[in-house]
């Protein structure tokens, strides 16, 4: 089981949509996947389960005093007179025959409270409650027991932040991927990750030296996330006169090149300052490992209908984006092309994340 965070401290980079469609591609290739929605916005849960389905899971009753979301597992790490409970659910959309298992541990808007309660100083650095920073790994382990299965991959969706729940996700991850968009801030944010991860690692090392559970096998396996590449997301392409194939428009290509330079000259050297493990996977290129074009109205409509890109052409667009009563030919072609690009990313993971 390999755990992967899709992370960028910059918002609006399409990480939730990317996480969702990547999980579908991995599942379509026969892999068993667990999604953990660790983002208080809960968009991943809403996409997979629908607004009504997810809303029902938030409801409390005598048997489920904290609902059937991730809160039921996390609350006991704050209120220790109750036992953690894992709930997982399949997506509401039907998967194609032969697909592997796909489950989600639904998020909860309450996760902001968890982020406020977990303390880097007291819980982590002082070594008093390092397990609070292992919640995603503990959820994955319990989910395997609950479902009597072995997951090939755990994908964690996190908020655009460097807060404690993001730390927790990164500490639990074997690898992390960084979605980046074509804008002037993406290259800067790549550099911020390089500045921040060595500090996260230093705090982790202090904590495990001080904790009474330093012989805990789970703790010894965690805290060492590796940068495994970045995804160019939400760019535009154009076919110029005389060209057979379309290419990124000049402005977006310029942003792409700046991100490549930032990975090469900023992120890599900063992560190399971590001496206790190799924080960049050996197979990681400076260039994007996948390129997903701007999906325009298709991305929000996909989430609204709870249908991933792979199957979106099989349903009619909602009234809000309805043009001629159906998706246009170019829209369907883009769905197919970008679904194939998610397959490319899935293949990259299968081949390298071992």
**What's the CATH code of the domain at 90?**
3.40.50.300
Q: CA 26 to CA 344: how far, in whole Å? A: 10
Instruction: Say whether 35 sits in a helix, a strand or coil.
Output: strand
Q: What is the pLDDT of residue 238?
A: 65
How far is residue 322 from each of residues 91, 258, 315, 316, measured CA to CA in Å? Answer: 25, 37, 12, 8
The number of folded domains in the chain is 1
Q: Which residues in the chain come in under a pLDDT of 50?
A: 241
The pLDDT assigned to 212 comes to 57
pLDDT given at position 12: 80
Q: What is the structure's pLDDT at 109?
A: 96
Half-sphere exposure (CA, 13 Å, Cβ side) for 144? 13
Instruction: Please tell me whether residue 264 adopts helix, strand or coil conformation.
Output: helix
Q: Where are the beta strands (DSSP E) in the chain?
A: 2-6, 33-37, 102-105, 153-157, 175-181, 226-235, 237-238, 247-248, 290-293
**Which residues, 6+ apart, have CB-to-CB distance to 337 below 8 Å?**
293
* Model pLDDT, residue 81: 73
pLDDT at 82: 82
CA within 13 Å, CB half, 45: 27
Per residue in 198-243, pLDDT (tens digit) is 999 999 998 888 775 555 678 878 999 999 999 998 887 765 545 5
pTM: 0.93
Contact assessment for residue 214 and residue 266, using Cβ atoms and an 8 Å cutoff: no
Q: What is the pLDDT of residue 232?
A: 93
Write down the pLDDT at residue 320: 61
Model pLDDT, residue 1: 96
Q: Which residues contact 134 (CB under 8 A, 6 or more apart)?
A: 168, 171, 172, 218, 219, 222
pLDDT at 117: 86
CA distance 178 to 161: 13
Looking at residue 272, what DSSP letter applies? T
* Residue 213: per-residue pLDDT: 52
**How much is the pLDDT for 116?**
87
Is 162:120 a contact under the CB 8 Å cutoff?
no
CB of 29 within 8 A of CB of 346?
yes
In order of 27, 124, 315, the CA distances from 132 in angstroms are 30, 8, 42
Coil/strand/helix, residue 136: helix
Question: Do 86 and 140 meet the contact criterion of CB atoms below 8 Å apart?
Answer: no
pLDDT at position 324: 64
CB of 131 within 8 A of CB of 141? no
> Which CA distances in Å does 111 have to 53, 162, 165, 178?
19, 14, 8, 22
The confidence score (pLDDT) of residue 239 equals 56
How far is Cα 44 from Cα 335, in angstroms, rounded to an integer? 19
pLDDT at residue 240, as a whole number: 55
What is the spatial distance between Cα 66 and Cα 59, in angstroms, rounded to a whole number? 8
Rg (CA), the chain: 20
Question: Token pair for residue 344?
Answer: 């490319």
Between the alpha carbon of residue 313 and those of residues 109, 113, 295, 298, the distances in Å are: 31, 39, 13, 10
Which residues, including other chains, have CB under 8 Å from residue 260's CB and lie 6 or more apart? 286, 287, 288
Contact 123, 132 (CB under 8 A): yes
State the DSSP code for 121.
Answer: I
Half-sphere exposure at residue 11, Cβ-oriented, CA atoms within 13 angstroms: 5
Domain that holds residue 246: 2-352
pLDDT per position as a tens digit, 298-307? 888 998 899 9
Residues of the chain with pLDDT > 70, as a percent, come to 94
């Amino acid at each position: 089981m390999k755990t992967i965070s899709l992370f960028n401290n910059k918002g609006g980079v399409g990480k939730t949509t990317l996480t969702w469609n990547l999980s579908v591609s991995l599942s379509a290739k026969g892999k068993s996947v667990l999604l953990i929605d660790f983002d208080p916005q809960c968009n991943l849960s809403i996409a997979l389960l629908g607004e009504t389905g997810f809303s029902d899971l938030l409801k409390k009753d005598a048997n489920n005093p904290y609902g059937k979301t991730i809160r039921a597992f996390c609350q006991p790490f704050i209120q220790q007179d109750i036992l953690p409970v894992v709930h997982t659910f399949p997506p509401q959309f039907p998967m194609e025959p032969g697909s592997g298992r796909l489950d989600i541990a639904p998020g909860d808007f309450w996760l902001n409270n968890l982020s406020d309660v977990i303390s880097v100083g007291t819980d982590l650095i002082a070594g008093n409650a390092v397990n609070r920073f292992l919640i995603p790994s503990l959820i994955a382990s319990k989910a395997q027991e609950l479902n009597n299965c072995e997951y090939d991959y755990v994908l964690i969706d996190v908020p655009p932040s460097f807060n404690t729940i993001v730390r927790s996700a990164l500490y639990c991850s074997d690898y992390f991927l960084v979605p980046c968009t074509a804008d002037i801030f993406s290259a800067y944010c790549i550099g911020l990750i390089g500045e921040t991860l060595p500090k996260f690692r230093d705090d982790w090392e202090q904590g495990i030296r001080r904790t009474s559970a330093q012989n805990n096998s789970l703790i010894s396996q965690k805290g060492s996330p590796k940068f495994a590449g970045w995804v160019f997301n939400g760019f535009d392409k154009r076919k110029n006169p005389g060209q057979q194939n379309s290419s990124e428009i000049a402005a977006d290509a310029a942003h792409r090149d700046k991100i490549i330079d930032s990975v090469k000259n900023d992120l890599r050297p900063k992560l190399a300052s971590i001496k206790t493990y190799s924080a960049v996977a050996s197979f990681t290129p400076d260039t994007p490992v996948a390129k997903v074009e701007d999906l325009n109205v298709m991305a929000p409509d996909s989430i609204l209908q709870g249908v991933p890109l792979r199957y979106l052409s099989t349903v009619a667009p909602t009234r809000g984006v309805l043009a001629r009563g159906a998706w246009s030919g170019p829209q369907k072609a883009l769905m197919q092309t970008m679904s194939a690009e998610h397959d490319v990313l899935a293949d990259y993971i299968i081949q390298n994340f071992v």
